[in-house]
């Protein structure tokens, strides 16, 4: 859902994520399906506005619908590019990167991350902590290009970590 300024994820989507983290795939699918039904209504109410479509892409990625994910993400970014709205544009690039990663499209995900981290409002959504810690990015962990992006965002005065 969208508040007119930014992308907002529904409670059903959050329930789906929680169920998936708890390895309850049946409950996750039910929650994501409900979130999709809710989000389709938002998209229909705002057909020329990118953020609701971007959220729909995120839901479709959670449902494994790769074909729709890529179309929805690209269309959302085209409807509201970074040049028009740096805050929402950055968020849509972030969501598109996540959806691409979730559907196994690492090249697209990494390309979007590189674009997104150079955007004016990037630090609001694509920051070191988010990329380093959030499980959304797990499909990209271990890829040297992803690790390089994460390292480039590390605070310059941070203490080195040992691993």
Q: pLDDT tens-digit profile of 66-114?
A: 889 999 999 999 998 888 888 888 888 988 999 999 999 999 999 999 9
Distance of CA 85 to the CA centre of its chain: 17
Locate 127 and state its tokens: 């920051």
Tell me the DSSP string of 40-85. HHHHHHSTT-HHHHHHHHHHHHHHT-HHHHHHHHHHHHHHS-TTT-
Collapsing DSSP states into helix, strand and coil, what is residue 108? helix
% the chain with pLDDT above 90: 62
pLDDT confidence of 1, banded at 50, 70, 90?
A: very low
CB 97 within 8 A of CB 116: yes
CB 60 within 8 A of CB 32: no
Domains with residue ranges and CATH for the chain: 11-153 (1.25.40)
Q: Which residue, 105, 108, 90, is CA-closest to 51?
A: 90
């Amino acid at each position: 859902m969208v508040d007119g300024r930014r992308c907002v994820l529904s409670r059903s989507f959050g329930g789906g994520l929680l169920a998936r983290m708890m390895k309850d795939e049946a409950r996750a699918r039910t929650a994501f399906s409900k979130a999709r039904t809710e989000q389709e209504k938002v998209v229909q109410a705002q057909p020329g506005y990118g953020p609701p479509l971007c959220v729909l892409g995120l839901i479709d990625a959670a449902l494994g619908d790769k074909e729709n994910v890529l179309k929805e993400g690209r269309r959302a970014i085209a409807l509201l590019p970074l040049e028009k709205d740096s805050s929402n544009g950055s968020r849509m690039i972030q969501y598109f990167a996540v959806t691409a990663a979730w559907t196994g499209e690492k090249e697209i995900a990494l390309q979007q991350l590189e674009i997104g981290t150079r955007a004016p409002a990037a630090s609001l959504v694509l920051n070191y902590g988010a990329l380093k810690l959030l499980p959304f990015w797990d499909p990209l962990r271990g890829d040297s290009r992803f690790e390089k992006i994460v390292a480039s965002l590390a605070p310059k005065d941070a203490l080195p970590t040992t691993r």
